[in-house]
Amino acid sequence: MPRKEGSILIIDDNKDLLLALKLFLSRQFEKTDTLYNPNLILSALDKQNYDVILLDMNFKAGRATGNEGIYWLHQILGKDPLATVVFITAYGDVELAVKSMKEGAADFIMKSWDEQKILSTLHAAYELRKSKMEVSLLRKKQAHLSGEIRSQFSVCNCPSKAMEEIMQILKKVASTDASVLILGESGTGKEVIAREIHRLSERKNEIFVKVDLGAIPETLFESELFGHTRGAFTDAKEEKDGRFVIASKGTLFLDELGNLPLALQSKLLSAIQNREVFPLGSSKPIPIDVRIITATNLPLQEMISQSTFREDLYYRINAIQVEIPALRERKEDIPVLAEFFLRKYSEQYNKASLQLKKKALSVLMQHGWPGNIRELEHTIEKGVILSGDMEVGPEHLFPASSSMKASPTIDTFDLGANEKRIIEKALRSESGNIASSARKLGINRSTLYQKMKKYGL
């Protein structure tokens, strides 16, 4: 027997109907409460928020206007804006049903005893309530994150001319709904740039949803992005909204676009192009209103020529292209970033008075940074942890050796470990240049990017 979930409040002036509904629905919901007097609704909601509220539309005998039900609907939504209300009435007035939906009701059912209809309507309402709560939680997290980003340093605030030019582009693009493609090596801050576009846009008060396309198994792609209906596949025990629907009115950030298998690229293109999605198991389209931002560290133009990336998808998501330069190409940003990360981790590890030695900064400036800003951040964190209470030196940043020129040695038969060392050595010898390093290693750039991601470089 499936586990009961959710809470429901039933309000009706027919005591016999209340009892029948309570007996029937208590087998389906974890908590089932009833009210005979609608004047007690607000006091009941003071004690508990219900997942679904089943509300009579007419309480006074002989009246069929629905005005009483709509009045109490407004009262309920005033108390709990995320409330999911289903109207129940003895009158099958279509205009009344439409009016109630426009006023904020989730659905409308008749008092005729159709168990299947009642259950399907209430289960759908319960799933809607869960989706509302999920979106509300994501919005709160987004607001909190946006506040942190505004109050803290961002890669967007770097002093290099390259980042200045990128910021100028972002300010012009953000006010539009144009799709943006962000390019750059792993660790350069592509997600931060995407969030900055959202923060500067007209959608800034709506949700920002990130999806790592490279991490979604092919079998779950449609379910994760477009959602699914109950029973759409073996484990689909309930309806689920996809990321496109969850991001409605906001921004959808599709990261690792280049890792999306060719077979799935057409499905993504169709959703973006038609601005609608079909949940798995449904033939009914859901309109979507989202700002699309994509990002990748792979060379899409090269992949198009190799027929591993769709050219039509490329042009659909590439109205505006922003390419973030590697950290080695804008070394004037290193001191500012290093100081920021030093302050961040000094506070985190209760070493507030820490300073960066000049020699340590010199070593940081000489390093090739194949892992870019992410590698710099991890290096500074390691230095803070290993240092004393006063200064961070080169020996704390790179404890394996005092010199960045030390060559890795192959001293085990661990293929993965040695491959990582060889890649590190190639990147170091070529000052982090991806194209040159790939040639030296005898592989193409996309393969090198994938291996760098695999080993966290």
CATH architecture of the domain formed by 7-130: 3-Layer(aba) Sandwich (3.40)
CATH architecture of the domain formed by 328-397: Orthogonal Bundle (1.10)
Predicted TM-score (pTM) of the model is 0.62
CA distance linking residue 209 with residue 41, whole number of Å: 35
Q: List the chain domain ranges.
A: 7-130, 152-325, 328-397, 415-455
Report residue 92's pLDDT band, with 50, 70 and 90 as the boundaries. Answer: low
Per residue in 266-294, pLDDT (tens digit) is 999 999 999 999 998 988 889 999 999 99
Degrees to nearest 5, angle at CA 363 with 333 and 431:
75
Confirm if 397 and 406 have CB atoms less than 8 A apart. no
Least confident of 54-58, 219-223, 393-397, 450-454: 450-454
Highest mean pLDDT among 16-30, 88-102, 406-420, 443-457: 16-30
Q: How far is CA 432 from CA 238, 325, 373, 447, in A?
A: 48, 12, 13, 15
CA distance linking residue 92 with residue 106, whole number of Å: 16
**7-130 and 152-325 share one CATH topology?**
yes
**Coil vs helix vs strand at 320:** strand
Q: What does R_g of the chain's alpha carbons equal in angstroms?
A: 28
Per residue in 119-175, pLDDT (tens digit) is 888 888 888 888 888 777 676 666 655 555 544 455 677 899 999 999 999 999 999
pLDDT averaged over the chain? 84
Q: State the pLDDT at residue 236.
A: 76
Residues 96-133 as b/e (b if ≥16 CB within 10 A, e otherwise) read bbebbeebebbbbbebeeeeeebeebbbbbbbbbbbbe
pLDDT at 231 > cutoff 60: yes
Q: State the pLDDT at residue 355.
A: 92
DSSP assignment letter at 187: T
Q: State the pLDDT at residue 305.
A: 94
Q: Which of 319, 307, 11, 58 is nearest to 172 (CA)?
A: 319
Residues 381-391 as b/e (b if ≥16 CB within 10 A, e otherwise) read bbbbeebeeeb
pLDDT at 2 > cutoff 60: no
- The CATH number of 415-455 is which of 1.10.287, 3.30.70, 3.30.1660, 1.10.10? 1.10.10
**pLDDT mean over 47-55:** 89
Encoded tokens for 364:
């940081």
Per residue in 288-342, pLDDT (tens digit) is 999 999 999 989 999 999 999 999 999 999 999 999 999 999 999 999 999 989 9
Task: Tell me which CATH code domain 152-325 carries.
Answer: 3.40.50.300
